[in-house]
A and B are shown apart, each in its own frame.
Chain A
Amino acid sequence: MILQRTLTTLGARSMAVARDAGGVFVLLLEVLRSLVPPSMDGRELMRNLYKMGYRSVPIVVLTALFVGALMVVQLAAFVKQFGATALVGWGTGYAVFREVGPILIGLMFSGRVGANNTAELATMTVTDQIDGLQALAIDPIRYLVVPRVLAMIVCLVALTVIGDLVALIGAMAMSQVVLDIHPLTLWYSLVDNLSTADFLHGVYKSMVFGAAIALSSCYFGLTVKGGAVGVGRAVNAAVVGAAVSICFLDFLMTYLTA
């Protein structure tokens, strides 16, 4: 009895997940098809670049400062125990560039920009503005989705680069305070041991994360049903979808580019 109910729930939920994943994939194909011939609404693109990029800088800088400091706090016990001060820059840089930076900034970006975008598109959908666009013979994919996907990829890459650097500043400040390591020591430990490949590894990831966040947020925004309640639910689904995609794609990219 309980088994049957559990299986039914599990089946229904897998179906829903499969439907949404399929929907996101179809949206990806439609976006790709809209890129030939390449034409884009420049105004929509600029508006979104400003809104998604420039205005996310404060939250990304704050997050990155804390994350950098946090990395040092985590390493501190280990470093004190073994006196491995030369490794702090290396360890922090490796973790921040390759994993922590792209993932945490990606999650924050999804929470701020992805969620915002879902809310905007969902509001447009429930107030029939998408139908209005179609009735004006304007393709919503080409006009709304394509510039947003592009803007989110560009913004997330830029923000990840900024965040990586700010996290290093946070790490330098923290290691000076708790471990008495000079910022330059940390810097040399980093540049001596890490290559551009480590840095680029994170940049590639942020590119893919940006696309995933954009597609998830646009998909759930455009398929919303049911008024104000529906808008909230769509935002919820979009951020969850983005978080799962980020973790899954991170795994995939780590394997593929290792």
Chain B
Amino acid sequence: MALVPRRSLTSLGARTLDLVDAVTDLVRVAAGTVSGAVFTYWRGTRPKGEIARQMHAIGNRSLLFVMVTLGFVGMVMVYQTCLLTTQVVDGRGQVGAQFARLLVLDVGPSLTAMMLATRVGAGIAAEIGSMKVTEQIDALRMSAVTPVDYLIVPRFFACVLMTVVLSIFGMAASWAAGGLTGYYSFQINPRTFFDLSMVAPAHVVLGMTKAVAYGAAIPIVAGWCGLRARGSSEGVGAATTAAVIGSSFAVIVLDFIISAIGLIFWGAGL
């Protein structure tokens, strides 16, 4: 009887220690990435053309994925909003303008980042995780290369840039698909629909800030998960899973924080 609470206390203690250890690791990777990006990366022996290669891997190879998913989401959003607005009074004229505002302010960058968290986050963790379990990371350290500088920093640059770019492409796809849905299902004139009058500079600033923040968070979280991989194929699988869930969650939390800050700053004007 007396053993039970002691054992659960021990396991609680062990889990707390694990958590502390994990968080310390995350902070270390994040700090290493940022300081690497600002200071050491450009001075050190950086792998040539790596940023371009990562931009291709993260950007080009996600373009279709992002545009297809955002396109579908755009159609659904317009469809549902039209259903809602036609229930009470005919507010179809406002749908396009409001949709554009929401797209720029939140849905475009956030949903693009959710998609990138699954595709890019999983990819980065899988790649770095496999290197970890096959002892390639240790080999890097033996040749006096910092793994964070070598592996995460180029992905960091590429991902920040590409999240912004893909967000814009995603928004465009979503906007176009939404416009088509409005026209074909609810007879909204494209001229009425494609209306940017509700989009203020503040919306663009906030939306792009989100894109940059997501783009920074995904490689850091995914790289952190990859570097913590242990064991063999199970370890890589677990790291990849953790990266997907971790970076998706990071996107949701950052979205909330930045949106709240925006609301405090601009208030009703937003």
Contact = CB atoms under 8 A, between A and B. Distances in A.
Q: Do chains A and B touch in the complex (CB under 8 A)?
A: yes
Interface of A: 13, 59, 62-63, 66-67, 69-70, 73-74, 76-77, 80-81, 94-95, 98-99, 103-104, 107-108, 110-112, 115-116, 118-120, 122-123, 126-127, 178, 227-233, 235-236, 239-240, 242-244, 247-248, 250-251, 254-255, 258
A83 to B, nearest CB: 10
Nearest to A126: B233
Contact of B130 (A120, A178, A232): A232
B69 A120 contact: no
Closest 10 CB pairs between A and B?
A119-B237, A232-B126, A111-B244, A77-B270, A80-B268, A115-B241, A236-B122, A247-B72, A247-B69, A235-B240
Contacts of A95: 80
Interface of B: 64-65, 68-70, 72-73, 75-77, 79-80, 83-84, 102, 105-106, 114-115, 117-119, 122-123, 125-127, 129-130, 133-134, 232-241, 244-245, 248-249, 252-253, 255-256, 259-260, 263, 266-270
B80 A118 contact: no
A74 B80 contact: no
A6 B236 CA distance: 32
Contacts of A103: 73
A71 B79 CA distance: 18
B83 A127 contact: no
Nearest to A255: B79
Contacts of B79: 254-255, 258
A138 B84 CA distance: 51
10 contacts: A13-B64, A70-B259, A107-B248, A108-B245, A112-B241, A230-B233, A231-B233, A240-B119, A250-B72, A254-B80
A232 B239 CA distance: 8
B236 A110 contact: no
Most chain B Cβ neighbours within 10 Å, of A74, A104, A122: A74
Given A73-B259, A231-B237, A232-B236, A80 B115 contact: no
Nearest to B255: A70
Given A67-B252, A123-B234, A115 B122 contact: yes
Given A66-B255, A107-B118, A108-B249, 17 more contacts: A73-B256, A77-B266, A77-B267, A80-B267, A94-B84, A110-B244, A115-B122, A115-B240, A116-B237, A227-B233, A228-B130, A231-B234, A231-B236, A239-B122, A243-B114, A243-B119, A248-B72
A231 B73 CA distance: 30
Contacts of B70: 247
Contact of A239 (B68, B119, B255, B259): B119
Contact of A251 (B65, B75, B130, B238): B75
Contacts, number: 167
Contact of A232 (B72, B129, B255): B129
Nearest to A122: B237
Given A115-B122, A244-B68, A107 B114 contact: yes
Contacts of A99: 76-77, 80
**Best-buried of B233, B252, B259, B266 by chain A (most CB within 10 Å):** B233
Given A99-B77, A122-B237, A231-B236, A236 B123 contact: yes
A119 to B, nearest CB: 2
A219 B80 CA distance: 32
Nearest to A111: B244
Contacts of A70: 252, 255-256, 259
